[in-house]
Chain A
Amino acid sequence: MKRLHKTLICALLFFGTSCSKFLDRESQAILTDDQIYSDLNMVNSLLANFYGRIMWGQNITDSYSYTLLDEAGVSSGGPNNLQNYDDAQWRVYDYTLIRNLNQFLAGIRSEQAASFDPNTRNTLEGEARFIRAWTYFNMCRSLGGMPIVGDEVFEYQSGTDVTTMQFPRSTEAGLYDYIIEECTQIATMLPDDPGTNTNAARANKWAALTLKARAALYAASIAKYNYKTPDVRTAGNEVGIPAERASEYYQIAYDAAQEIIVGGRYRLHDANADKGRNFYEAICEKGSPEVIWAKDYIYPGQTHGFTNNNIASSVRGDIDANIMTPILNLVEAFEYVNDRNGTLKTTNASGEYIYYDNPEDLFKDKDPRLYGTVIYSGADFRGMTITYQAGVKYLENGRWETITASPGASNAAYGGVITSIDGPTTNSDQYVNKTGFNVRKFIDENRDASTRGRGSDMWFVRMRYAEVLMIAAEAALELGRPQSEVAGYINQIRGRAGIQELTQISLQDIIQERRVEFAFEDHRWWDLKRLRVAHEIWNGDANNYAATHYALFPYRIYAPGNPNHGKWVFDKQRASHSLYPRNFRYQNYYSFIDQGWINSNPKMVRNPYQ
């Protein structure tokens, strides 16, 4: 009995004490707002998360994105049968990110962050607002005007009237105005010394101004040129900007570009006498004095597979290569140093082959930027010469006949290598070149970067000084400023590139210059869209050179005794693995509004043609 008593008391004590606060513990995995916003390391890692969520459009983490336009084609595996651009092409709709950024802004502005000095707080707020402006900008250029939700962080609780959270779409001009206004303020909040910005990975004053200039230029050119597509508009101007606002926007773009130029913090990289090499270094070497904002990578931890995917076969470090390879159209878009027509001279006037002693002779006197952008036959990479050879041509009954083989195969009866290990071929093997070129821009020269396991830490340049000059040139041209001034900006770029300067500039020259200068940098699609020429250039006609992918197939001549023995000839031919011409329909000027978004927000109107 006494024992029972004792047991009872023990049990009572046990129940009386053991459960205290058991369900009331603080989580070890969830950090509270005041833990985050009082600690600079926490805040920085939150900001890093935002920087990591804004990779959209054509970029180096998506090699296939480069095969959609007129820069490159698919080269690995079977043919690509893209016929139309997707109705959701590169559209951005990320209100989750915008809400997260607004939460961040609320945290930074609250008492919890009071321990930071005002300067730091200001910078953090500016960066978050820059990322938000960049997000809106990416939405605007793909979808037109979208709802502007301001700084408010919306919370839903059971019973909340959701209609108060449903915002109608802004006008297209209204959203560009918002981005421009935000960037104007952000520029005053962010540091202006690029020296403290490791690898240009964080936004500073100049990135904000570049975004401002770019947004204003986009708005201006849409205002000026949307008369060419009168049906690409909505009744409420969610898509379409009135023509009378064009000069106002051009002036904003011009002034913002001038501010960066006068600011003098950036300059075109021009340190290497080898102009082709210099252009590669300007974009692909971290620390380049012209890069304003980039997505940076670092090994170990943050790497990507662009080098691994797209390197030439003979220098690859792993099995992968040639996922996408540049096409002849891009190569011919590069001018000659003294000739504006960049067409490669493979045949003479009467249609007969021109025989070249060395494969690289075909590319003699091309714009040196071609070397920095594309690996062509006879060019070097990492100290090795890359030679593309589709086959051997030999004489039979006085006519040139062709023999090809699998990549790397040789035959002594035809004097050695028949088809180079680097291709090109027309078969559907994986990782084999199909166009006769490889990309050099954004390809890492570090040997190990081309392996799957390591990856590359090459950055992706989003904004650089050359773009500022191009914006200044285009805005100056459209504002009717003197040709000498317009040409002055472009000639800085052309002079650095190492090609002849111009005296008369037209809009066509600007489109051309942007195409070659910014190849693979996610400009081409948006440029052709905002200037309303995409449907003319990519018109879906298989006989239109501009809309169709072409390849360059080099052949070695094997004809002992013939004066042309051992020389090289080149065939231009339709790229075997891009089956259809590029077809840009009017509806592609703005991606479609997803039906799901309309379901949850009925105030959202559809885009044209939708």
Chain B
Amino acid sequence: MMRIALFVALVILAIIAPFFVYPVFLMKVFVFALFASAFNLLLGYAGLLSFGHAAFFGTGSYITAHALKVWGFPFEMGLLAGVVASTALGVLFGLIAVRRLGIYFAMITLALAQMMYFVYLQAPFTGGEDGIQSVPRGTLLGLVDLRSDLNLYYVVLAISLAGIFCIYRIVKSPFGQVLRSIGQNPDRSVSLGYSISTYKLAVYIMSAAFSGLAGALLVVVFQLASLDEVNWHMSGEVVLMTLVGGVGTLLGPIVGAAVIVTLQNYLAEVGQWVLVIQGSIFVIIVLAFRKGIVGELSDPESWLRTTLRRVGMRSPGPGPSARPGEAVDLGQARQPVRSGD
């Protein structure tokens, strides 16, 4: 309940924010919050670490940019074109990738995404190194002029929130429950009669669709589709955002996206040092916030105890750990018996 109250407070904050903060920066945060939430649907619940989500993000960008600029699609249809394209790509990649386990899944998704990078580098419509520039933003339903940053701000806010809400509903559904079970103990899910490949494919496609929507929105915001969106750096960044914020939590990817985008924007003047700072933060997160910022702060007592223990101080609490046996169980969940389905 408290989490919902917090969420509502954040939404209200978001509505008044553009009067205090540069709206384009905020829109960038929302877009990445949606992207990270889509990624988290896959990693945080089904336990699938994709290292190629840039392919969907970039496809959303390029196709939307092309549709808006060359085909002259209206705003809504332009976004839809991007989402449809990334969903289709998700079906294709998903069929190839979802039967692979663990590191092989990460590797094959990376490989497929790199293929897409070269496609977009070479394809005649993408403009190669230049990208697709000065993409028109258009109007919302032919009524609201989106050339105004403030107008666009509320549209991007609404679409991002709607996307994140859909993801929330998926997580909190019977289907989401099956995903969690697969993430926690795939062999047991199979023995209960779940064809886990089908579920993995379904969630992979959903994740691709929302990633594509995020990419499409980014194009409208910056009026530019470039190779940055399909580069493997982008795949890494979304992993980083999700882990920093808290994998498997609703707010985690949003917080993670806000932290990383803020760092990149406000530390831009220090140049290459931004990467060093980003790396240091990642190290700190891994050492002290293993479940991410949101993951740890939702249980501050246990966080304090484990962190003190990790740095070698005596635990102030009664027990050695808040939840004994947890670590053991995660290990047990990965059993030696493996199956194709």
Q: Do A and B come from one complex?
A: no
Binding site for B on A (CB under 8 A): none
